[in-house]
Amino acid sequence: MKCNRCNSSDIIRITAKCSDAFWIEYPNSNIYEGYVPKSTKLGIDIGYSDYVEFAVCLTCKRIQEK
């Protein structure tokens, strides 16, 4: 996998299981708490059901979109 911004192959993948303890705060203090949503206003698919999954470029620090 290569970064979709800087083309680096220095990518880490993160997966976490959080059941119904997922929490996210959007700009302007909109807060969501519960199961992991299928998608967010971030424009990326962050996971599903109990799992949060994403990849980050260690070179430019960008979260990789699917």
pLDDT in tens, 25-65: 888 878 888 888 776 666 556 666 788 888 999 999 999 97
Q: What is the pLDDT of residues 3-19, one digit of tens each?
A: 999 999 999 999 888 88
Within a domain: 37: yes
Within a domain: 2: no
**Residue 37 confidence (pLDDT):** 78
The secondary structure of 10-66 as a DSSP string is -EEEEEEE-TT-EEEEEGGGEEEEESBPS--TTSS--EEBTEEEEEEETTT-PBPP-
Structural domains counted in the chain: 1
Within a domain: 53: yes
